[in-house]
Amino acid sequence: MARGSYLVFVVALVVGVTALGDRVEARKKKRLKVAVFVQQSPGVKIKVVDRLIFRIKRGLKKNKRLKLVRPARVLARFSGDLPLDSLRNSRKKLKLGYALLEQKFYRRAITAFNMSLVSMMKALAYVKKSRLVMAQFGLALAYYHSHLRAQTLRMLKKLLTWRPVLRVNRSTLPKGFLRLLRKARRVVKKRPRGQFILRTRPVGAKAYLNGRSIGRTPIDLEGVPAGTHYLTIRKRGYLKLAETVRLSPGRKKLDLEYALKRSRKYVLLEQALERSWPDFGKARATPAMQEIKTLLLIDQIVLVKPQVPRDGGVRIEACVYDLRTGNRLKQLGATLKKPKYKARVFAKALYAGLMYDGSLHDPGKEKAPDLGGPTPIYKRWWFWVSIGAAVVATTIGIAVPVSGRDKGPNIPSGFNPFSASF
């Protein structure tokens, strides 16, 4: 290797390893637990509030130093309403089922998938629908390899009824199984469709059918295919509700009504929030804000106040309070433009220059926030390591891949029946 090439390689390797070390060290630091609340201001539609909460949270999730807390889930865990045992068991049995499929223990895989589905039904309100897809698909595959064609077809029809868009990797699946999958699609497409009516007490609850939002109650939905569907209902301050509903082929209308149960823990949270809003913008966190810390066990709170939307967008003011030190770390205002309300940039600016230990920063040392988008490629650790490797490869005549990171879906035990996320 030439002396110049060797020097370039060493420099690039040192820069890359240093950057990687800094990244690993940052990951080792304890992430701050943060809760975001948006006030329901007079004149601001609840749809606007929901959209702001969603987009601001999505922007804050990109900050690796923060861990966003879902208040309803935390309170459900503390009050014993969150079925943790069922959730753990469902994940454990799902992973075991795919491991047994890979080892060709098909009968045992059937048992594992069935046990996973039983646990999921007990915790349906808190189960990701993608896991339900994986469990039902894995069970259908285990049925097929056990030469149980009728059960395979029945499970595929059940799955495609509520999740019609199911993309699979055909190269990894048996041809006979693919024929049954096509047959199940044809049967589901020919099924009659009916009307779905949903009412709740109180009204205004968010409803999800098969994991997809269908609006706020009351709801009148047309074109629902006959078969089994999964309904989830959420409303702030009430316990999450999930039900398995079935629209029979001979029934043209399914009329449902549910009474939601009030969450006692959430009542305490709402009362603390009501006392916090009048003190929005004060230099110190108030006792009401500290109550929220006690209820949710969080480190920081982000309070957002929207104003009446105008033609150009919606004006919001946000404050970040550190509940460990009691300091107001930042107050920031902006006008978010329609239709997408670019809250990702706002969320990034909200934490730009903040001290994560909760102390007040020195204004003279604060760096200007970088709102230009993702990190440049030349600032990434693997870029410099790749350059060093490329120098070596060029010198000694071998090919080295730039990046070996696996970007595929995380399917248990390496078994990958799906070609994309679902």
- What crossing angle do the helices spanning 287-296 and 264-276 adopt, rounded to 10°? 150
Summarize pLDDT for 241-279 with one digit per residue, the tens.
999 999 988 888 889 999 999 888 888 899 999 999 999
Residue 365 neighbours by CB distance under 10 Å: 7
Here the tokens at position 247 are 């629209």
Q: Is the dihedral of CA 46, 51, 52, 57 positive or negative?
A: positive
DSSP 8-state class, residue 418: B
Output the average pLDDT for the chain. 81
Amino acid at 126: Y
pLDDT reading at 400 higher than 60: no
Beta strands (DSSP E) in 64-142 are: 66-68
Residue 41 neighbours by CB distance under 10 Å: 16
Nearest in space to 42 (alpha carbons), one of 265, 309, 225, 288: 309
What's the confidence (pLDDT) of residue 306?
87
Summarize pLDDT for 60-113 with one digit per residue, the tens.
988 999 999 988 888 888 877 888 899 999 999 999 999 999 999 999 999 999
pLDDT reading at 177 higher than 70: yes
pLDDT band with cut points at 50, 70 and 90 for residue 402:
very low
Higher pLDDT: 133 or 385? It is 133
pLDDT reading at 21 higher than 90: no
**With b meaning 16 or more CB within 10 Å and e meaning fewer, what string describes 63-80?**
beebebbebbebbbeeee
pLDDT band with cut points at 50, 70 and 90 for residue 13:
low
pLDDT band with cut points at 50, 70 and 90 for residue 341:
low
pLDDT above 70: percentage of residues in the chain: 77
pLDDT band with cut points at 50, 70 and 90 for residue 417:
very low
Render 234-268 in DSSP notation, one character per residue.
E-TTB--EEEEEEE-TT-SEEEEEEEPPBPHHHHH
pLDDT band with cut points at 50, 70 and 90 for residue 411:
very low
pLDDT reading at 324 higher than 70: yes
Please give the Cα distance from 383 to 385 (Å, whole number). 6
Please give the Cα distance from 361 to 2 (Å, whole number). 48
Nearest in space to 136 (alpha carbons), one of 235, 223, 210, 218: 210
- What phi and psi values does residue 111 have, to the nearest 5 degrees? -60, -45
Please give the Cα distance from 105 to 392 (Å, whole number). 46
Here the tokens at position 169 are 């990797």
Summarize pLDDT for 179-202 with one digit per residue, the tens.
999 999 999 999 999 999 999 999
Q: Which of 222-236, 323-337, 372-386, 391-405 has the lowest mean pLDDT?
A: 391-405
Give the pLDDT mean for 121-139.
94
173 in helix, strand or coil?
A: coil
Nearest in space to 72 (alpha carbons), one of 270, 245, 254, 311: 270
Please give the Cα distance from 37 to 304 (Å, whole number). 6
Please give the Cα distance from 386 to 403 (Å, whole number). 7
